[in-house]
Amino acid sequence: MAAVYVTEAELRSALGIGALYSSAVVEECCQAAENIVKSKLWFNTQSVYALEATGTTGRIYIYENVDQFLTGDTITVENVRQHFNGSQTITDVGRNWLEFVNAQIVTRVYHTIAPWGRVYGTQAVDYATLAEVKLASLMIAVDIWQARQASNAGGISPDFQPSPYRMGNTLMARVRGLLADHLAPGGQVG
């Protein structure tokens, strides 16, 4: 899932800071912006809440229906268990579970996991290549940078009043129009 939505060079250029600040400081803003944008985008992913294994066959249980995954698909499993994590090829699909064979898996009885893990399927869209996603990430990175440098340089609230909270709830609202076609439906609740 490695992608670059906004690069250090792009942020340096947009801010006009040249080599004035260290790479680590600038890159931190870039990564934070990417993480914020990624959290709102629609990925081919589901939550894993339980697992079990018999011999070398592992089974992960998915919170919702697994219709988007097919036998033979390659998935990436994260934050489940050491031998479950990583790239796996699906050998069987049930209503709410996926099965795969891995010689490293140790037999385990069915049990839930906390916090839940994630399973990622093949993504049809590479968000790192979309101009609107890259621009939204750059705009957020600039806001993060400016909030770090001048904490009293606030934004404007929805009622057009000055606000000292640049990192408030309007941070995503300023770029939602750019990301509208790619927002995850479940991410809009609440």
* Same-domain check for residues 137 and 173: yes
The answer, yes or no, to whether residue 24 has pLDDT greater than 50, is yes
pLDDT band of residue 1 (cuts 50, 70, 90) is: very low
Same domain membership, residue 81 and residue 64: yes
50: phi then psi, degrees, rounded to nearest 5: -155, 165
- Verify that 73 and 139 share a domain, yes or no: no
pTM for the model: 0.73
Domain count, the chain: 2
Specify if 167 maps to a domain.
yes
Per residue in 107-156, pLDDT (tens digit) is 889 999 999 999 999 888 899 999 999 999 999 999 989 888 775 555 55
Do 70 and 25 belong to one domain? no
2 assigned to some structural domain: no
Q: Where are the alpha helices (DSSP H) in the chain?
A: 8-15, 23-38, 131-149, 170-173, 176-179
| Containing structural domain, residue 169 | 8-42+125-188
**Span 84-119, pLDDT tens digits:** 999 999 999 999 999 999 888 888 899 999 999 999
Residue 143 within a domain: yes
Residue 75 to residues 59, 91, 172, Cα–Cα distance (Å):
13, 11, 30
69 and 96 in a single domain? The answer is yes
Could you tell me if residue 165 is inside a domain? yes
Whether residues 106 and 81 share a domain: the answer is: yes
